[in-house]
Amino acid sequence: MKKHNFYPLFCKIQQYAWGKFGTNSIAGKLWSSNQDKILDSNTPYAEFWVGDHPNGPSEVGLKSKKVTIPEFFSQDLSLLGPSILNFTNNEPRLPFLLKVLSINKSLSIQSHPDKKLAKRLHSQRPEIYKDPNHKPELAIALTYLEAFVGFRDPLEIYNNLMNYQPCKDLVGVELVNNLKKQISNKDGKAVAKTLKEIFKAISTAKADIVSTKADELIELIHNKSENEFTSDEKLILRLNKQFPGDVGIFLSFLMKYRHLKPNQAIFIGPNTAHNYLAGEIIECMATSDNVIRAGLTPKYKDVEQLIEMLDYDILGKPSNQIMDGVEIEKGIFQYKIPVQDFLVQIIHMGKNQTLQLPTSHSSSVFLLLNGTISNKDQDQQKYSSGTVWFIPQDSEINISSHDQTVLAVQAMLGKN
């Protein structure tokens, strides 16, 4: 078996407004350690990126200098390895991007196109949709995570519309009655059609009407005593503080409210409405910029496109499932997903343990999230949290922990 060096990576931070501030941000602390930078308590540190995305390519630490990952690969294509080169049709790039997100307030309500739609949108509007790729993603909770992923059960949507008059007003009585009838008839296609019309009625309502109805909704909730608030109502109040009078407040009545514990994960495929609300996660995705938004954001919204692309066929079907990792070897957990663009494994080690990472079928990136490790094969240096490596295909990597437990993540190409 070949033994290869690993290559240290120095990675970028994204300071989006929704990020956590200063040392409250895991993403920020990883970047601070990785780049030997001091965090500013008044700056939001939202996303720590590991990969070769053009908006934030990592740099490879060589003996005499640092070069970007694209430059590194251009010097020797074999570093990417045959598996990735075959997947990318010999394009010198990583097909995945690994991130850590620290979420202080809601991201936008959004979805990502499948490959067919992505190609069409890129062809028609390349200034907005900058690549022809899809963007499936996996979120693994580092802390307790709140998110919207997919639609609620149709009956729950109906009950929400009936229980909150301002939302019912936006939708209209006819659509609400149609939904109830179609649910009773167990007519999945009709439910999907009506749900699409309901989503459209809310998301295309005039801004002044939405704002007025949002005020009515907040007043309706505040008419109850605080100890009677449901979890949905507490969230609506929070969202209204973050984005006063935003249409996303009403879209939340349609979307499934998820709660993930640390190490739990959820896969988000194409044409699925979602957004992260609070918490910190590991996220891995196919490398793409294609995001289509409809609410809870000051960014560009393409509401009509989102309405047309979403999958509303949900009656009697399992929604996006929260999953646990599968332990493939002691302390190594993989998350099974239906795409080949990436595969993620979480590594847990106790104190003073040694572990050989499974020899990867593709080149990979490795991020140490917590603890201190040494690499027995390359040197005796101690590596702390924020350490990132690029590991070539077929490498043997033996790591040892010290006086702390270790948490790490490794991303690679998925298997056929």
Active-site positions read 293
Cite the DSSP H helix spans in 38-172.
69-75, 82-87, 115-124, 154-163, 165-171
Q: Distance between CA atoms of 343 and 136, rounded to whole angstroms?
A: 12
Q: Are 281 and 141 in contact (CB under 8 A)?
A: yes
Q: Distance between CA atoms of 173 and 30, rounded to whole angstroms?
A: 51
Q: Are 148 and 278 in contact (CB under 8 A)?
A: no
Q: Distance between CA atoms of 152 and 171, rounded to whole angstroms?
A: 16
Q: What is the dihedral of CA 21, 25, 29, 35, to 10 degrees?
A: -60
Token output for 370: 């917590």
Q: Distance between CA atoms of 241 and 237, rounded to whole angstroms?
A: 6
Element (H, E) at 402: none
C-alpha distances in Å from residue 250, one per residue of 146, 208, 226, 234, 305? 17, 14, 20, 14, 19
Q: Which residue has the tokens 């939202």?
A: 46
Cite the DSSP H helix spans in 50-135.
69-75, 82-87, 115-124
Q: Distance between CA atoms of 309 and 347, rounded to whole angstroms?
A: 36
Residue of 244, 246, 247, 222 lying closest to 233 (CA atoms) = 222
